[in-house]
Structure 1
Amino acid sequence: MNKCALITGATKGIGKSIAYALAKEGYHMLLAARTESDLLNLQATLQSQYPNQMIHYRAADCKDQKQVQALAQQTDALFPDLDVLVNNVGLFIPGSFLEEPPEALADHLAVNVLCTHYLSVYFGKKMCQRKSGHLFNLGSVAGKSPFVKAASYSVTKYAVHGLTAILRQELGSYGVKVTEIIPGSTYTASWEGVDIPPEKFVAAEDIAQAVISCLSMSKGANVDEIFIRPLDLNI
């Protein structure tokens, strides 16, 4: 029987790589992102490669809590027994606290923390009732060592780290796994055009493979966190 997954921020970079990796593993999926045209293209590609799997999508701006709630409800209607939640969506707007616009922190909190919190609680409760499931939260090295020029982003990634730790302690006793993936500089569209060879970065496919590795662990094993950085620490 196929397992099922919800992936936020599914159409680009890390999220897209995770979508391909889970599809290869036989998962039914709901893909979420802001841009419907990107979702349609990804759905069509995956559906053509894996015609026996259900690949659904929903366009949602995760800064809007009502849209996040609607996303949860649609996912629940399609997959009442969701096996895997990948909280990958993220907002990154560089700037120090003295330079950022007044709404910067609120915007980062809405996408990076409140969306992750809502979906984790919504599906975490259902997973606890079934005593199975796996939550993945995408953190950042900025949640371990802050970037002054990405102030609000760093604050919210610290919050993701704390949120994940609490979820792990609370859900683990019910048989639900919680893992934080903590990437360093990963080669995605945001790095295109820089004067650094792509092979110097972590590949998005590396992050996806880490997710698959976690899912392959025995029932009693939980990977708390995976810290993946470029070999060259100057990047």
Structure 2
Amino acid sequence: MSKPLIVITGASSGIGAATARLLSSEGHPLLLLARRLERLEQLGLPETLCRRVDVTDRDALQAAVREAEERFGPVDAIVNNAGAMLLGRIADQEAEEWDRMVDLNIKGVLYGIRAVLPGMVARGAGTIINVSSVAGRKTYPNHTAYVGTKFAVHAMSENLREEVASAGVRVVTIAPGAVETELLSHTTDARIRGDYEAWKKSAGGALDPQAVAEAIAYAYRQPPNVTIREIVLAATGQES
């Protein structure tokens, strides 16, 4: 019996790419979304539809989901992984960076949910997996705006779970600590980037994206009547 369709946003690198490889190896057809189409195609995964979509574009995201469902059948899970981490001090950080994180980390997650949730509710089954952060549970220096967006992901996920539990839809929050991805490279303040790298080194290094992908797959593999509401994971040496 063929496996059902899974959607992964921000799938061109890091956690998204690792999750795509893992779920593909388990036989799932995939819809992979990111702004860098060539990086998606370079993954070379079978039964995979790759589309250049910025998740802040609600119409484009919904169109891609409909296209994938026409080819592979209904979406059984979405991994809302696309996000931005633009660290800075509120007193001098460019407000456009706040806007980008709010649009991507909050509204992009909502758009991903909306693209698949009505069908899941109608079918009485489905899994929504939102990739947040330990920064959605506690605060860190130079993280104010980012922390705000990730606290929002945690809150939205829990509230959504309450809304759709009786419909048989599962909602999972994945909250990793520091992960070796491209996220930090988008921070424009060189001193903050350097401090963050030094902090990671002092903790003995960050998580490999594969570890987060395994956590996502673990939550998804549970029987339909079991919801792993939240998984928090970090490198052993990361104290905070």
> Deviations for 1:131-162, whole angstroms, at most 9, x for unmatched residues?
11111000111111123412221111111111
Which piece of structure 1 moves more, 186-195 or 176-185?
A: 186-195
1:63-78 maps to which residues of 2 (within 5 A)?
Answer: 63-78=56-71
Deviation at 1:65, TM superposition (A): 3.7
Three-state SS of the structure 2 residue aligned to 1:226 is strand
Deviates most, 137-146 or 191-200 = 191-200
**Which digits, 9 at most, give the CA deviation of each residue in 1:160-179, with x for residues without a partner?**
11110111111111111110
Q: Aligned residue for 1:172?
A: 165
Deviates most, 26-35 or 58-67: 58-67
Residue 41 of structure 2 is matched in structure 1 by 40
- CA distance in 2: counterparts of 1:60 and 1:118, whole angstroms: 12
Range 195-204 or range 81-90, more displaced: 195-204
Kindly indicate whether residue 233 of structure 2 is the aligned counterpart of residue 228 of structure 1: yes
What TM-score, normalized to structure 1? 0.88
Instruction: Give the equivalent residue in structure 2 for 1:50.
Output: none
User: What pairs with 1:79-94 in structure 2 (closer than 5 Å)?
Assistant: 79-94=72-87
Unaligned regions of 5+ residues in structure 2, if any?
A: 186-193
- Check if 1:150 corresponds to 2:151: no
Cα RMSD after superposing both structures: 2.2
CA contact (8 A) 1:136 1:178 kept: yes
Identity among equivalent positions (%) equals 28
Q: Which moved further from structure 2: 131-140 or 77-86?
A: 77-86
Deviations 1:95-123 (A, max 9, x none): 12112112222211110111111221231
Q: Give the deviation of 1:75 after TM superposition.
A: 3.6
Any idea what SS the aligned residue of 2:39 has? helix
Q: 1:125 Cα shift?
A: 1.4
- Cα separation, 2, equivalents of 1:71 and 1:227: 30
Secondary structure, counterpart of 1:83 in structure 2? strand
* 1:197-208 superposed matches below 5 A: 200-208=205-213
CA distance in 1, matches of 2:66, 2:82: 18
1:166-214: per-residue Cα shift (whole Å, max 9, x none)? 1111111111111000000112245699563997322211111112211
Normalising by structure 2, report the TM-score: 0.86
Q: Is the 8 A contact 1:146 1:155 kept in 2?
A: no
Q: Where does the alignment leave 5 or more consecutive residues of structure 1 unmatched?
A: 48-53
